[in-house]
Amino acid sequence: MKNNLVLLFFLALTVSVSAQSLPDRKETLEVMKKVNGYFMKKYADYTIPSFYGRVRPSNIWTRGVYYEGLMSLHSIYPREDYYEYAYDWAAFHKWGMRNGNTTRNADDHCCGQTYIDLYNICPQPEMIKNIKLSIDMMVNTPQVNDWWWIDAVQMAMPIFAKFGKMTGEQKYYDKMWDMYYYTRSQHDETGMFNQKDGLWWRDQDFNPPYKEPNGEDCYWSRGNGWVYAALVRVLNEIPSDEQHRQDYINDFLTMSKALKKCQREDGFWNVSLHDPTNFGGKETSGTALFVYGMAWGVRNGLLDRNEYLPILLKAWNAMVKDAVHPNGFLGYVQGTGKEPKDGQPVTYKSVPDFEDYGVGCFLLAGTEVYKLK
């Protein structure tokens, strides 16, 4: 009897997974092309600064995240206009950062991820000169407390991994770990990562005793998405024998378990992961980052396929069905901020203050879904 029950359980699990069949690759590619096409058409002039209350040059983090997504799309569908749109943007900014080579701000560094990706396609020294000088400055100075908000982990941490892989020099991996560990475990004494809940507080403003209206800790969806994506982007670069690889994997697995528990019934995640009553509702950017991480984890054997494939496909299908407009505009994207109340309202038709990073997150997710077998 017991053996029969076990067999029935595994049969039910198999049926559940097969019911969530992989999306048709052609359809996945088409929806990414549509979403990206909308953005490239609307923002055809990459030289124009973003403006929302104040001017932001187009090489700030919001646009940097978009280009991360575009380069991921380009890796599976290398259209010449995609490459030119990224290359010409980088060249316009002289392969530099908003505040020059002495900046320690991760929001400035983010563009460097795309500079390196472009360099890897067709190496020219000037393409990475500035970002390497800035990252070398970080490596050569003792400070480790620059990433005091968790968004910064995604904006800058993968660059250290990329330079470590490119140069073969351990110093980039060592500094990356020191800075990550400070944010994770030492900042504001306790660090930003609550291992008990498997999620991250956005910055010290949200550490206990800060609580959400329902009495839970405040875990902001997109903020946790940034860390989740950063872990993937780092693991994708560092060697299998890197001394802290298992530490990164452990955090990735812990987060995956926590995220699984708080997915909405419709497939999305709320802006507040533990309080669906605090500006609750569908949110695309955080959801896309979680899909990106889970799809990568399944594809690389770190996450159990039977357990996580239905979760990530449910989320991807929900975004495609409910967030993507016929013209490619992406709905349900929370505007910039650092907590659930910011960047509201978040609706199907609402346009966030900056459209670029939401598109980038969606393209990262779609590219990983496309690669699933």
In angstroms, rounded to a whole number, what is the distance separating the alpha carbons of residues 7 and 26?
35
Q: How far is CA 287 from CA 120, 175, 244, 290, in A?
A: 29, 30, 27, 5
> In the prediction, which pLDDT does 54 show?
78
Cβ neighbours of 21 (radius 10 Å): 9
Length of the chain equals: 373
pLDDT on residue 298: 98
Share of the chain above pLDDT 90, in %: 93
Give the pLDDT confidence score for residue 95 in this predicted structure.
Answer: 98
- pLDDT value of position 286: 98
Residue 172 neighbours by CB distance under 10 Å: 24
What separation in angstroms does the CA of 293 have from each of 57, 247, 368?
29, 16, 8
The pLDDT, as a whole number, for residue 329 is 98
**d(Cα 217, Cα 207) in Å, to the nearest integer?**
8
Q: Which range among 10-24, 81-95, 326-340 shows the weakest confidence by mean pLDDT?
A: 10-24
State the average pLDDT for the chain: 95
| pTM summary value | 0.94
* Bridging pattern class, strands 50-51 and 193-194: unpaired
Which tokens in the block code for residue 120?
Answer: 């890897």
pLDDT band at 1 (very low <50, low <70, confident <90, very high): low
Q: What does the DSSP assignment read for 21-51?
A: PPPPHHHHHHHHHHHHHHHHHHT--TTSPEE
Residue 17 — pLDDT band, cuts 50, 70, 90? very low
pLDDT digits (tens, 9 = 90+) for 235-245: 999 999 999 99
Query: Could you report the per-residue pLDDT of 38-65, keeping only the tens digit for each?
Result: 999 999 999 999 878 778 999 999 999 9
Give Dmax (Cα) for the chain.
70
Q: Kindly indicate the confidence band of residue 16, based on its pLDDT and cuts at 50, 70 and 90.
A: very low
How far, CA to CA in Å, does 255 sit from each of 76, 195, 305, 344?
27, 9, 16, 26
Q: Which band of pLDDT confidence, cut at 50, 70 and 90, is reported for residue 145?
A: very high
pLDDT tens-place string over residues 270-326: 999 999 999 999 999 999 999 999 999 999 999 999 999 999 999 999 999 999 999
pLDDT digits 0-9 by tens, 211-250 = 999 999 999 999 999 999 999 999 999 999 999 999 999 9
Buried residues in 128-167 as b, exposed as e (16+ CB within 10 A): bbbbbebbeebbeeeebebbebbbbbbbbbbbbbbbbbbe
Mean pLDDT in residue range 155-173? 98
pLDDT of residue 20: 64
- CB neighbour list of residue 36: distance below 8 Å, 6 or more residues apart: 69, 70, 73, 82, 328, 359, 363
What percent of the chain shows pLDDT beyond 70? 95
Confidence check: pLDDT of 6 > 70: no
